[in-house]
Every structure is written in structure tokens, then in C-alpha cells.
């Protein structure tokens, strides 16, 4: 059976000291607090994390994409560490997310246009 997924491009603060495991823990804790059993049935995969550029790409099942969008907004209200996250783009393909990220980095003059 084919698994349809959603890809999220998420903006995070630049030069934050959070690691991939900390983000994964924040997302899973928020999902568990909000939705209970749903958090154990589905996983959220962090595909790309760059604290230098301030962006993260995550992948999840299409069925919980709305939950992940809500979880991303509420994950910044964590008691331990406040890390504001914002969904910049959501797509069904990684290629689309990569194009948007490349355009953003070119506009911010981090990457050259060549």
C-alpha cells in the first residue's frame, strides 16, 4: 500500500542551540499532550535541520498533516525551552519544498543565483 506523505518547511530561529533530538522530543510531547494515542500511531521524521540557516524539513503521513501544522505552532510554547516554529510551506513532494527553500535562501542572499 502506498503511503502518501506531507512535507513541511519550517522556519526556526537562526543559531538556536536545539538539536534534532530536542525538536523530535518537543514535537512528540506536544502531539501526545494534544492528541494522545494519535502520537503513538504516526511518526514525524526530521529530514533536514539547519540551525545556521534557520530552517527545518519534516515529513509525516498525510492523515496527520493538520495535526502536525497545529503542533508546530504550539511547540513553541514548551515550558523547557521556547523555540518559535513557523510553517513556511507544505507540499506533497520533497522537490517542491527544496525549490521553495532554495528560493528563500537566494532571496536572503545566502546562496548565489548561479
pLDDT score of 8 = 95
> In 12-54, where do the E strands start and end?
45-50
Rounded to whole angstroms, the Cα distance separating 38 from 64 reads 8
Spatial contact of 15 and 22, defined as CB atoms under 8 Å apart: no
Give pLDDT tens digits for 38-83. 666 778 899 999 888 889 999 988 888 888 888 888 776 556 667 7
Give pLDDT tens digits for 80-111. 667 788 899 999 999 999 999 999 988 887 76
Instruction: For domain 5-107, say whether CATH 1.10.150.120 is its number.
Output: no
By DSSP bridging, strand 86-91 and strand 5-11 are antiparallel
Q: Please give the model's pTM, rounded to 2 decimal places.
A: 0.83
* Residue, of 24 and 47, whose pLDDT is higher: 47
Closest to 5 in 3D by CA, of 105, 104, 90: 90
Amino acid at each position: 500500500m502506498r503511503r502518501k506523505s506531507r512535507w513541511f518547511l519550517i522556519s526556526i530561529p537562526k543559531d538556536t542551540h536545539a538539536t534534532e533530538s530536542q525538536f523530535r522530543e518537543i514535537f512528540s510531547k506536544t502531539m501526545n499532550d494534544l492528541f494522545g494515542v494519535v502520537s503513538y500511531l504516526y511518526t514525524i521524521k526530521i529530514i533536514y535541520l539547519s540551525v545556521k540557516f534557520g530552517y527545518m524539513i519534516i515529513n509525516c503521513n498525510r492523515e496527520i498533516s493538520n495535526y502536525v501544522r497545529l503542533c508546530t505552532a504550539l511547540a513553541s510554547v514548551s515550558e523547557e525551552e521556547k523555540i518559535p516554529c513557523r510553517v513556511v510551506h507544505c507540499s506533497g513532494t520533497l522537490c517542491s519544498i527544496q525549490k521553495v527553500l532554495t528560493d528563500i535562501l537566494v532571496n536572503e542572499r545566502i546562496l548565489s543565483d548561479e
